[in-house]
Amino acid sequence: MSRFVLSSGVLVDPAEAVVLGERTVVAEDGVVVDVLDAPAAAAAVRSAIAGADVVLDAGGRFVLPGFVDAHVHLSITTMDFASTSTRSSVTWALEMAAVAEAMVARGYTTVRDTGGDVAGLRQAIRRGLVAGPRVVAAGRVLTQTGGHGDLRSRVDVEPPSCGCRIEADWFAHIADGVDAVRAAARHELRQGAGFLKLMASGGVASPSDPLEAVQYTHDEIAAIVTEAEHRGTYATAHAYTPAAIDQAVGAGVRCIEHGNLLDAATAATMAARGVTLVPTLITYQAMEELGEKFGLPEVNRAKNRGVLEAGFRAVELAREAGVTLGLGSDLLGEAHGLQNREFELRAEVEPAADVLRSAFVVNPELCGLAGKVGVVAPGAFADLVVVDADPTVDVASLGRWETNVAAVVSCGRVVRSRL
C-alpha cells in the first residue's frame, strides 16, 4: 500500500466557495482516506506523516481538488486540419500524449473528451505509459453528411448509396437516417463511451456547413438519446443557435455544448427541462489570436469572429434563466496551453462562487464522477492542486497557472511541484 500525505495546506471547499482552514490530506493507493484538521488533530497528523511514502508540504498555500474540464479534444493536436491526412499514426499518438501530459501538469486531473478516438490514449494513461488526466470520453461524435463533424473537403463528392449511411474516421461517424445513427451510437457505447455527442448545428472549425445550419432531425436525435439512456448515460449536443438548441432539447439531450447564439426564450426552455450548458469561451479567443498563425483557414476564422463576443452574452442569458452551467475549454491543437484562461474569461461575467461550482460540482456530474472528483474527502480520488492565491476571492488566478499553481497531484502521485 502506498501512502501519500499533503500537509500544511489551507483547504478550499469549491462547492460552497469557502476556505475551511489548515488540513492534512492522507491518501492510500490514490484514494483519500482522511482529511485531518491539522491544529485539532496534531498527533494524528504526525502519525500520518511518519507512515507516509511521500509527503508534500503545501507551506500554508491553498488546496483545491484537481481541475475538471468538461469539454476537451485530446485527439485534435493541430489547427491545420489539412495536415491530418498526411500525419503518421505514430506521430499523432505522440502528439496526443504530449497534449495529455501538459494538460495534467496545468492541474486538470479529469477531463471530458467530447469527440475523437482516444481509446488508445486512455489505455496508455491507465497503464502508466504516459502521464495524463482521467478521461471520460464520448468517442467519435455523430454527425450528418455535411455536418460539423464531417471534415472532408468539398472536392470529396461521393454521395451516399442508400437512405442510410455510416462512414467513420478518427473524429466522427457520418451517419444519416435513424437506423444509421442508432448503429453508430451503439458502436461507440460498445467501445466504452461514457456518453454520446452529436452535432446539432454548424460549427466554426468545420469546412462545409454554415454556422446557423440546423443539423439532424428530431427523430435522428431522439434515437441517439434513447440509445444513451438504455446504457444509463446521456447525449450531449454541439449547438449554437436557438433553433438547433430547441430541436436537440426537444428530442431529449441533457446537455448543450457552446450555445453562443442562445436567446432568452431558449434559455428558459433549457432551465425548465434541466438541461446543462457548457460554455467554451476561451476557444474563440484562442482561434482569434492564434488561428491564422497555425493554419486555421480564413473561412473558419470568419465564422469564429461571429460567435466570439456572443459567448459572453449567452452566459449572462443562461444565468438569468437559471440554466446550470458547466465549464469547458474546447481548445484545438496549438492552443491547448491556454486552457486555464477559461477561468479568467468566466470571471468577467460570473462571481467566483459560480465559476467554482461549474468547474468542481457541475463538471464532475457531467463526467459521472460526483463524489470521486471535484472534492477532497474520504473516498475521492487523491487529485489535488496547490495554489498561491485564494480562489474564492480571485478565481481568475486559476487561469494564471504558470505562476499560481505550485503543485499538482493526480491519484496520490506528484505530477509537478515547486514546493
Nearest alpha-carbon partner for 408 in 103, 199, 146: 103
* Residue 364 DSSP SS3: helix
Are residue 98 and residue 195 in the same domain, yes or no?
yes
Is 60 exceeded by the pLDDT of residue 290? yes
Ranking 17-31, 94-108, 291-305, 347-361 by mean pLDDT, the lowest is 291-305
Asked if 193 and 282 sit in the same domain, the reply is yes
Q: Could you tell me if 408 and 274 lie in one domain?
A: no
Residue-wise pLDDT for 270-287, tens only, equals 999 999 999 999 999 988
DSSP 83: G
Is 153 part of a structural domain of the chain?
yes
- Counted domains in the chain: 2
Reference 373, options 359, 386, 391; nearest CA is 359
Q: Looking at the structure, do residues 269 and 316 belong to the same domain, yes or no?
A: yes
pLDDT for 295 beyond 90: no
Task: State the pLDDT at residue 162.
Answer: 46
Do the domain assignments include residue 348?
no
Together in a domain, 86 and 217 = yes
CB contact burial 65-85 (16+ within 10 A = b; e otherwise): bbbbbbbbbbbbbbbebeebe
Confidence class for position 364, pLDDT limits 50, 70, 90: very high
Question: pLDDT tens-digit profile of 187-219?
Answer: 999 999 999 999 999 988 776 788 889 999 999
Task: For residue 347, tell me if it sits in a domain.
Answer: no
Q: Are residues 43 and 90 in the same domain?
A: no
User: Would you say residue 262 lies in a domain?
Assistant: yes
pLDDT per residue over 164-181, tens digit each? 555 668 889 999 999 999
Structure confidence at residue 85 as a pLDDT band (50, 70, 90): confident
pLDDT of residue 165: 52
- Tell me which residue range forms the domain holding 388: 3-66+374-417
**pLDDT value of residue 163:** 47
- Examine the fold and report which residue of 313, 339, 365 is the final residue of a domain before the chain moves on: 339
Do residue 54 and residue 75 come from a single domain? no
**Do 149 and 61 lie in a common domain?**
no
Q: Which residue, 318, 339, 360, sits at the end of a domain? A: 339
Q: Out of 293, 314, 339, pick the residue that ends a domain.
A: 339
Q: Does residue 237 share a domain with residue 207?
A: yes
Q: Using CA atoms, how far apart are residues 292 and 294, in angstroms rounded to an integer?
A: 6
Question: What is the CATH classification number for the domain harbouring 56?
Answer: 2.30.40.10
- The pLDDT assigned to 167 comes to 61
Closest among 296, 311, 373, 325 to 111, alpha carbons compared: 373
Asked if the structure places residue 84 within a domain, the reply is yes
Q: Specify the CATH number for the domain of residue 335.
A: 3.20.20.140
Within-domain flag for 89: yes
Query: Does some domain include residue 252?
Result: yes
Say yes or no: 58 and 77 in one domain. no
| Secondary element (H or E) of residue 20 | strand 18-28
DSSP element (H, E) containing 165: strand 165-168
Q: Please, which pLDDT band fits residue 306 given cuts at 50, 70 and 90?
A: confident
pTM: 0.95
Do both 107 and 192 map to the same domain?
yes
Pair 246, 314 in one domain = yes
Is 359 among the domain residues? no
